[in-house]
Chains A and B, each alone.
Chain A
Amino acid sequence: DEIGLIPCPEARYNRSPIVLVENKLGVESWCVKFLLPYVHNKLLLYRQRKQWLNKDDQLFSLQCFLQMLNPDFTTAWNVRKELILSGTLNPLKDLHLGKLALTKFPKSPETWIHRRWVLQQLIQENSLPSLVTKGNLGAAPVERIHRLVQEEMNVCSEAAGRYPSNYNAWSHRIWVLQHLGKLTVKVLLDELSSTKYWVSMHVSDHSGFHYRQFLLKSLIGRTVTDTSVLVQNQMINEQNPNLQKEEEEESAGAEAACAEEQSVDLPRHLEEELELCTELIDTYPGHETLWCHSDETLNNSHHSPATSHMAQAMDVDGLNESSSKQGYTQETKRLKRAPMQDSLGPELEYRFIDKVLSTCRDVDQARFATAYRKWLVTFLGQ
């Protein structure tokens, strides 16, 4: 489940340089300079002559393994792409190889890029009705995707832990959510809660917090979309009462419930995020990342649907006088919520800053607090 290089400049014993201990594969460093060029050339040769379809398994395995020591060798990944397309290679096995490569090279861009290609292949396969081949074990497509997503989250988490500020890993994570997870609210909320511990333990790693910003922004975006769909549905229903089917009503009702849920949760999540920041800033003084995250979160909370819906609500009312009571009530609820949120945020923040400045000893912390206050004044002054 892990690979590594054993620093061993000379061959001391006449034995294989490959070491397997507790399920971890190691290669003594002295052999690398011999083997890599050999494998490289062999690979190119095979490719030229298209001979790998003869399945010289041993050599192929060796190639795989040594490729892991040089994961940015694009040609090798492309060979694997061809093999996957021709059906010789199981994409899941390829993902596993990539995962191993990432244990040693958690940043390797080529590995992540190739991984996304393989995942895309799997998505396409998944949408085909006829697939029992390639050892997918016949699980339901939705479940398969879910498992894939979970696995990717794990891989990203591990890679992020092995290398500080591993934006490649976090970007991949975002990509997976967008393309496999479809950015559903459930997925977003799950991710928010599962990364909370990680960011608390990596307080100066901005990439983790950046990911949380993405999650929050997506949640905001989600709420806006779903609620405007709801409003539109309401309008349609009003305009065409005869065409109102029970299903439409139900779905509008369900969406109303969801939208209501989401709009209830969103301010709370933003507040929680700010609270998390505050708590971490207090506990671990002197980390600029945390202050930046506070900035961002406050910024987002001001652009949340609470404020944008005030504008929307006016429009809706203006355009369509016969909008249903239900829709209007929801808008007014949001309107009521909006001013409260706006005024609470900055007040609390000012008080927090003052407290920090009066009690902290860390020079950096004081500097960050002062800068944050300046930012708040400028931002709110507009």
Chain B
Amino acid sequence: MRLYSLSVLYKGDPKVHLLKAAYDVSTFNFFQRSSVQEFMTFTSQLIVERSELGSRASVKEQDYLCHVYVRNDGLAGVVIADNEYPQRVCFTLLDKVLDEFSRQVSKVDWPSGSPATISYAALDGYLSKYQNPRDADPMTRVQAELDETKIILARKQNSCCEIM
């Protein structure tokens, strides 16, 4: 089971933009890595665009699952994982990351931010730590807050993946 990317975005009106991202493409063939990374960036953005404020969803894309959480204040996070990685842990991670991000990075910077201007460096660490869900999150049974969320499993129909 594997995590491939972890990104923080801002769902502005009308555009979504990327604030910060971390990637782990080491399991891909060396020469495919840059195009895989581009694809993940693009997909993350697209998913946030299509999601509503205050929602959580898991979208299946080929062999991957994209877990997205868009908060009511527009801050959004996307985790791209394979289909073995437990969904619960992904959402726990997203909650945690967005929470920390919103405390460290001022809200004023969100609408105009970009990876170059935002200073939040914890994503790489989280991505690496959470590769093994049992080490990273021993309390993987924390269910309470997830009971209320609506998890949608949807299949992408449109042509957003022509890039691949």
Contact = CB atoms under 8 A, between A and B. Distances in A.
B27 A161 contact: yes
Nearest to A197: B132
Contact of B30 (A4, A202, A204): A4
Contact of B132 (A162, A201, A203): A201
Given A201-B132, A203-B1, A21 B30 contact: yes
Interface in B42-88: 83-84, 86
Contacts of A2: 29-30
A8 to B, nearest CB: 9
Interface of B: 1-2, 27, 29-32, 35, 83-84, 86, 132-134, 140, 143
Q: Which residue, B30, B31, B132, has most C-beta atoms of chain A within 10 A?
A: B31
A27 B159 CA distance: 28
A287 interface: yes
Nearest to B146: A361
Interface residues on A, range: 20 to 34
A22 B26 CA distance: 14
Contacts, number: 43
Interface string A145-189: 000000000000000011000000000000000000000000000
B3 to A, nearest CB: 11
Contacts of A104: 29
A284 B90 CA distance: 13
A134 interface: no
A287 B85 CA distance: 11
A287 B84 contact: yes
Nearest to A104: B29
A4 B140 contact: no
A101 to B, nearest CB: 13
Contacts of B84: 202-204, 284, 287
Given A201-B1, A203-B1, 16 more contacts: A4-B29, A4-B31, A6-B31, A19-B31, A22-B30, A24-B30, A26-B30, A103-B29, A201-B2, A204-B83, A283-B86, A283-B133, A283-B140, A284-B1, A284-B84, A287-B84
A100 to B, nearest CB: 12
A241 interface: no
A204 B83 CA distance: 9
A4 B32 contact: yes
Contacts of B27: 161-162
A6 B31 CA distance: 6
A19 B34 CA distance: 15
Contacts of A76: none
Interface string A210-241: 00000000000000000000000000000000
A7 interface: yes
A104 B84 CA distance: 23
